[in-house]
Structure 1
Amino acid sequence: MPTTFLSNALRGTFFCIFGLWWSVRYPLKYLRRKANAESQPSNGVQRAEVFEGAVKAFFALAGILVEQFVPAGPHLQLYSPKTHSWTDLTPWRYTTMYLFFLLSGIVDVVSHSQLKLPLGLDRLSLAVALFIEGLLFCFHDYNDAALDHHVHSLLAVAVFAGALCALLEVFLRDHIILETLRTSSFLLQGSWLWQIGFVLSPPWGGPGWDQSDRSNLAFLTMCFCWHYAGALAVLAANSAASRCCNESCQLKLGDIDVELDCGMCIRKGKSGSGGALLPENGSDDK
């Protein structure tokens, strides 16, 4: 697929979906783990990891098919024997990026299956996928287009930041700070890909922003910082909403416990013995 506004928007939506999902899921997981003081991951957490991996693999496979088989795509042809040159390498660049995200999704699913892969391999595969993405953006030929090179260099900053967080999570599992930073990097990647679409190929048509205007570089650098501020604002809002939702659920569960106590008496021995469930009416036991 050529680099159009729609293609950048679709790639940005992929990262935004995961960033928004993580911005709700990780605060909830942290609050529940803190309340329950459980070190073992629950079945719900494992199912969420498998679901994320399946969705990631699906989106990545769809991205590969779209990049290759749109009418203007290379259709799996890398080298043209007629012109004795490479075909348009832009779709192949994004195909390579999606390939490693596809592998990351597969590793996510397999890691929580009965094969019992080493813990942390899923985060390592995600770190490799992000590193490959950043590498492709850094060493792409931008044909001396300074603005194009600048916006993708800023994107690479967000990509490598996410890769570093994912790599540290291999050794520091379920670390809420690292998870939050990785989530913010995904939100930043998603929104910045949308911004790249508006800068290089606006949806209303036209050639895009002036590549020779140096003031555009300074403005887009500030704009990149504003995008990250927006990502942090989304994180804060979703974290607050997750906290309110968690407290509301706890209150509802507390009301249920009170209703049960009205009909039953739960006695717990102070010496550590199990609680005995006794009927409310103390009739003679036979």
Structure 2
Amino acid sequence: MANFGGHAIPGSFFLFLGFWLTIKHIIQHYWRTNLQKGKPVTPPVFKRMEYIEGGFAIFASFVGVMVEQFVVDGPHAHLYDTANSSWVKLMNWQHSTMYLFYGIFGMARVACTASNLVPAGVDNLALSLALFVEGFLFYYHVHSRPLLDAHIHSLLLVAVFIASASAMLEVFIRNNIILQLFQGCLFILQGSWFYQIGFVLYPPSGPKWDETLHDNVMFITMCFCWHLAVALLLVTWTCATVWFIMKRFSGRIRDVEIGMRNTSTKAGSQKALLEESDED
């Protein structure tokens, strides 16, 4: 949608996905490096997390498509108007196409988690493809647009295509925490930048930006770097917080396990003594 809400919806989706991926991957990394010894089987909670992620992607994509298509001034599933010989709301159709491929990613994530018959890495391949389609659509989204409009969308392509390449690397390099956290950072960057686009092009309050002024282009370029810095700080803070919580929580789990072992050992010793006394 060509309004602030049309950019806030995908912005919220990407922000949530970025924070979710960061939290999920740091929990899995902590388990692999600190708790996996003697526990070769993946905890069931990790599978639930993958199902939640895939289900959220499917649900959010469905909501996004419905909003883009059936909003008051939307195309309502009409692509071509034969009466006027013209396309109908192609911008809404482009956004719907973007959501469609993220829905495919969600289905791939669920399928990979549910069945061992699906090759490992198909979900990351689908994510890479969804990001590529998003960038591909936005690349041709800004032709013949005002200077600031085209520039602010082109900066989004930087985050999108790098995230696509990162997801593609994960198809071949599994469980690399640097790649995983970097991907979460790029999703947060995308989310905040969608909001920035909405505030610049469709400000909910205040004066409208001059889209032909070169100084505004320079400021927006610098602003993108600030968004990247904030995304990196947010990922770092989230990782530190989750790591601290996991460390304290895992310590309590170990205490409980040690207590249970000691109790079972004492019970076993008492049982052996009783059996010996019965034999005597």
TM-score (norm: length of structure 1): 0.90
Greater relative CO (CA pairs within 8 A, separation 6+): 2
Residue 205 of structure 1: CA displacement? 5.9
Alignment of 1:3-18 (within 5 A): 3-18=2-17
Residue 48 of structure 1: CA displacement? 1.3
- Equivalent residue for 1:220? 220
Contact preservation (8 Å) 1:264, 1:280: no
Q: Does 1:85 align with 2:76?
A: no
Contact preservation (8 Å) 2:142, 2:153: no
Q: Secondary structure at the match of 1:112?
A: helix
User: Are residues 115 and 175 of structure 1, via their aligned partners in 2, closer, same or farther at CA, if it must alter by over 3 Å?
Assistant: closer
- Give the Cα–Cα distance (whole angstroms) in 1 for the partners of residues 137 and 261 of structure 2: 62
- Equivalent residue for 1:193? 194
User: Are residues 249 and 217 of structure 1, via their aligned partners in 2, closer, same or farther at CA, if it must alter by over 3 Å?
Assistant: same
- Give the Cα–Cα distance (whole angstroms) in 1 for the partners of residues 97 and 169 of structure 2: 24
Residue 265 of structure 1: CA displacement? 3.6
- Equivalent residue for 1:246? 246
User: Are residues 265 and 227 of structure 1, via their aligned partners in 2, closer, same or farther at CA, if it must alter by over 3 Å?
Assistant: same
Residue 114 of structure 1: CA displacement? 3.4
- Give the Cα–Cα distance (whole angstroms) in 1 for the partners of residues 110 and 24 of structure 2: 18
Q: Can you list the C-alpha shifts for 1:164-206, whole angstroms capped at 9, x where unaligned?
A: 1110111111211110111011000000000111100011265
Q: Can you list the C-alpha shifts for 1:236-261, whole angstroms capped at 9, x where unaligned?
A: 11111111111111221233245446
Residue 130 of structure 1: CA displacement? 0.3
The runs of 5 or more residues in structure 2 that have no matched partner are none
Contact preservation (8 Å) 1:265, 1:280: no
Q: Can you list the C-alpha shifts for 1:50-93, whole angstroms capped at 9, x where unaligned?
A: 21111101100111111011110011111111211212210011
Amino acid at match of 1:33: R
User: Are residues 205 and 96 of structure 1, via their aligned partners in 2, closer, same or farther at CA, if it must alter by over 3 Å?
Assistant: farther
Amino acid at match of 1:119: A
- Equivalent residue for 1:183? 184
Contact preservation (8 Å) 1:147, 1:217: yes
User: Are residues 188 and 119 of structure 1, via their aligned partners in 2, closer, same or farther at CA, if it must alter by over 3 Å?
Assistant: same
- Give the Cα–Cα distance (whole angstroms) in 2 for the partners of residues 121 and 261 of structure 1: 41
Contact preservation (8 Å) 1:264, 1:279: no
User: Are residues 222 and 277 of structure 1, via their aligned partners in 2, closer, same or farther at CA, if it must alter by over 3 Å?
Assistant: farther
- Give the Cα–Cα distance (whole angstroms) in 2 for the partners of residues 114 and 144 of structure 1: 46
Q: Secondary structure at the match of 1:278?
A: helix
Residue 282 of structure 1: CA displacement? 4.6
Residue 111 of structure 1: CA displacement? 1.7
- Give the Cα–Cα distance (whole angstroms) in 2 for the partners of residues 6 and 225 of structure 1: 24
- Equivalent residue for 2:255? 255
Q: Secondary structure at the match of 2:13?
A: helix
TM-score (norm: length of structure 2): 0.91
Amino acid at match of 1:278: S
- Give the Cα–Cα distance (whole angstroms) in 2 for the partners of residues 138 and 196 of structure 1: 15
- Give the Cα–Cα distance (whole angstroms) in 2 for the partners of residues 226 and 68 of structure 1: 34
Contact preservation (8 Å) 1:77, 1:87: yes
Residue 101 of structure 1: CA displacement? 0.8
Residue 44 of structure 1: CA displacement? 2.1
User: Are residues 258 and 102 of structure 1, via their aligned partners in 2, closer, same or farther at CA, if it must alter by over 3 Å?
Assistant: closer
Q: How many residues align?
A: 275
Contact preservation (8 Å) 2:10, 2:194: yes
- Equivalent residue for 2:30? 31
- Give the Cα–Cα distance (whole angstroms) in 2 for the partners of residues 168 and 261 of structure 1: 43
Between structures 1 and 2, the one with greater helix share: 2
Q: Can you list the C-alpha shifts for 1:6-59, whole angstroms capped at 9, x where unaligned?
A: 111111000001111122111111011111146654332222112111110110
Q: Can you list the C-alpha shifts for 1:125-154, whole angstroms capped at 9, x where unaligned?
A: 010000000001111144331111111111
- Equivalent residue for 2:108? 107
Residue 115 of structure 1: CA displacement? 6.3
Q: Secondary structure at the match of 1:76?
A: coil
